[in-house]
């Protein structure tokens, strides 16, 4: 069957099981948009190409499937780079389709031409420029395979306009074979057993969980292993939801704004079991003082991640689901009394949790505390199967600290790149995937303005996302660092003007609310959750509130600042 290139793209996406794409048209991709007219694919028209990339990212994180974004050439393509880099840093499977000028004009500085393959090479797992329509179907098959296997990540396909207009026989490949790309999925049994034996010898172990646990869909196996072996669990920001946060073995998030118990457990442990994390600098602090007296077991599907920052004594390269199943099989066969063995360690951790819980002081001015808003947002969401997204900064950290999670893929946040403007479009992507669930974005008044234009997208497609703005009138985390480390020299971190968020929401066709009293917080949230359309809640919160605990950048846990 002979089809035009644009039709080949559409049929290939359908063959991959894609049901929704996020995009913005332009001259170079008009043949593709023409092919989409009436096709069995839902297209969500965004208001900025960065929003399309974040929506595809949010869709992917919430579902576990590959997200797809479609944009035109030149500025359309370059506008997606922040979204692509965000997905790359957090290993999110995405395919980004970009338009390109005709093959004969590439390199001639043609109108709206940009070398998007070259520009995105450092922040994609792989990039393609398709010069021949006969290569199109195979390229798309390879792109989805690369994006979703091994360590997931974004793959870009650049599509010249004449390739989209040319015709070729269409037959979508059933399989992919790439000689240079064969991820190691199965953990070596001897290495897994060696890791398990080290855990058996430990008196003070800790399970350090990264986002790879969620990407591998291995959370249930993790819970089984932790409960069987009675090992305490701490997670990175990216792994929030990988383990139930209200379980007695959970220590809270670790790192710069992690809990005292989690950070001290990492400092005092004798065996550290790193599962799908990468020893980010926000976790380790000063490397020469981190994990000096413990055996490090590191499991990751990406061999280049192992021993990159912290030397692993026992490395295991494999998919985490495979490794967790093998560890559970070993634990089931073993007769050791894990609870008795770890009781002194667990008792000590309980004391730390009791002495130094996450907390915040009462307001001295009567203004709402942001942590209170987050707590109430979670309380009001009980029974509604919520998905949470965040912007970046103080609001992001308070969300990670004071929300509770029972399962994976319920907390979507830009961890690696720390992208302001991520939360609202990611929430729209998640809501598009799950129209019946409650999706709430926790934002600051600074970060929400990075992509607030996408509120009209939510309104147009009847996606009832809720936005909680913790409005303190400043760039909160910048302001906090300036207060603590720059002698309160608040250089360009205080907004002299902000828009009227209520009127802005109404202008977009959403519902706007402003809340200034603590007593009105819960009723406003409950009302917002009941409304079946996008709602923006502008909570006026205390300006001077800070995120604690805090380990100073480049510091150690011994320098941790508590409330």
- The token duo for 84 is 């692509």
> Which residues lie closer than 8 Å to 233 by C-beta, 6 or more apart?
206, 207, 209, 222, 226, 243, 247, 249, 250, 251
Report the alpha-carbon angle 437-438-441, nearest 5: 135
- 364 catalytic? Reply is no
- 517 catalytic? Reply is no
- The token duo for 110 is 């043609």
Cα distance between residue 43 and residue 36, in whole Å: 8
> Which residues lie closer than 8 Å to 539 by C-beta, 6 or more apart?
368, 370, 373, 468, 469, 470, 471, 515, 521
- 161 catalytic? Reply is yes
**First CA to last CA across the chain, in angstroms?**
68
- 174 catalytic? Reply is no
User: What are the helix (H) ranges across 446-563?
Assistant: 455-460, 476-485, 501-507, 521-530
Strand partners, 52: none
Report the alpha-carbon angle 397-402-404, nearest 5: 115
Cα distance between residue 162 and residue 479, in whole Å: 51
- The token duo for 267 is 């400092």
Instruction: Give the residue among 48, 144, 141, 161 at the shortest CA–CA distance from 99.
Output: 161
Instruction: Give the residue among 340, 282, 331 at the shortest CA–CA distance from 309.
Output: 282
> Which is catalytic among the residues 11, 49, 113, 142?
49
Count of CB atoms within 10 A of residue 182's CB?
Answer: 10
Instruction: Give the residue among 253, 206, 551 at the shortest CA–CA distance from 413.
Output: 253
- 477 catalytic? Reply is yes
Residues in the chain: 563
Give me the phi and psi of 534, to 5 degrees please.
Answer: -60, 135
> Which is catalytic among the residues 94, 240, 253, 477?
477
Instruction: Give the residue among 427, 448, 453 at the shortest CA–CA distance from 508.
Output: 453
User: What are the helix (H) ranges across 64-135?
Assistant: 75-78, 81-89, 116-120
Instruction: Give the residue among 58, 48, 54 at the shortest CA–CA distance from 24.
Output: 48
Cα distance between residue 438 and residue 70, in whole Å: 26
Give me the phi and psi of 100, to 5 degrees please.
Answer: -145, 155
> Which is catalytic among the residues 40, 111, 171, 379?
111
SS3 content of the chain, % helix, strand, coil (to 5): 45, 20, 40
Residues belonging to the active site = 49, 111-112, 161, 477
């Amino acid at each position: 069957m002979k089809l035009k290139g644009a039709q080949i793209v559409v049929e290939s996406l359908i063959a991959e099981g894609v049901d929704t794409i996020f995009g913005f048209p332009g001259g170079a991709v008009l043949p593709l948009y023409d092919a989409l007219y009436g096709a069995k694919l839902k297209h969500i028209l965004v208001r900025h190409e960065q929003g399309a990339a974040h929506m595809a990212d949010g869709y992917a994180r919430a579902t576990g499937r590959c997200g797809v974004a479609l944009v035109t050439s030149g500025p359309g393509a370059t506008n997606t780079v922040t979204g692509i880099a965000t997905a790359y840093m957090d290993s999110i499977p995405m395919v980004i389709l970009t338009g390109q000028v005709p093959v004969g004009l590439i390199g001639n500085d043609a109108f709206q031409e940009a070398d998007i393959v070259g520009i995105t090479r450092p922040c994609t797992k792989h990039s393609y420029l398709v010069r021949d329509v006969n290569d199109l179907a195979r390229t798309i098959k390879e792109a989805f395979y690369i994006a979703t296997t091994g360590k997931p990540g974004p793959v870009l396909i650049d599509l010249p306009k004449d390739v989209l207009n040319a015709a070729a026989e269409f037959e979508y490949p059933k399989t992919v074979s790439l000689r240079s790309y064969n991820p190691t999925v199965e953990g070596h049994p001897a290495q897994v057993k060696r890791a398990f034996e080290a855990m058996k010898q430990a008196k003070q172990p800790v399970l350090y969980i990264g986002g790879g646990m969620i990407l591998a869909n291995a959370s249930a196996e993790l819970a089984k292993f932790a409960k069987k072996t009675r090992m305490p669990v701490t997670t990175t920001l990216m792994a929030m939801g990988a383990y139930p946060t209200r379980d007695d073995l959970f220590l809270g998030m670790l790192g710069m704004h992690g809990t005292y118990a989690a950070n001290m457990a990492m400092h005092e442990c004798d065996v550290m079991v790193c599962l799908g994390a990468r020893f980010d600098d926000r976790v380790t602090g000063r490397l020469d003082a981190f994990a000096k007296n413990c055996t490090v077991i590191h499991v990751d599907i990406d061999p280049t991640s192992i021993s990159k920052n912290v030397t692993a004594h026992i490395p295991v390269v494999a998919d985490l689901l495979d490794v967790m199943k093998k560890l559970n099989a070993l634990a089931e066969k073993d007769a050791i009394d894990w609870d008795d063995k770890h009781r002194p360690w667990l008792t000590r951790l309980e004391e730390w949790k009791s002495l130094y819980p996450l907390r915040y002081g009462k307001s001295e001015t009567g203004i709402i505390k942001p942590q209170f808003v987050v707590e109430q947002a979670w309380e009001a969401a009980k029974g509604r199967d919520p998905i949470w997204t965040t912007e970046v900064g103080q609001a992001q950290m308070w969300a990670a600290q004071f929300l509770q999670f029972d399962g994976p893929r319920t907390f979507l946040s830009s961890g690696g790149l720390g992208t302001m403007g991520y939360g609202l479009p990611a929430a729209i992507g998640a809501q598009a995937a799950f129209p019946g669930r409650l999706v709430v974005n926790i934002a600051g008044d600074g970060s929400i303005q990075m992509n607030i234009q996408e509120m009209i997208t939510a309104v147009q497609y009847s996606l009832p996302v809720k936005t909680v703005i913790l409005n303190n009138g400043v760039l909160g985390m910048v302001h906090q660092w300036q207060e603590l480390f720059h002698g309160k020299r608040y250089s360009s971190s205080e907004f002299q003007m902000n828009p009227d968020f209520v009127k802005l929401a109404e202008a977009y066709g959403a519902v706007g609310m402003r809340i200034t009293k603590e007593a009105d917080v819960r009723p406003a949230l409950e009302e917002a959750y009941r409304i079946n359309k996008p709602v923006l809640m502008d909570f006026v919160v205390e300006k001077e509130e800070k995120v604690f605990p805090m380990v100073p950048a480049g510091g150690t846990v011994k320098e941790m600042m508590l409330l």
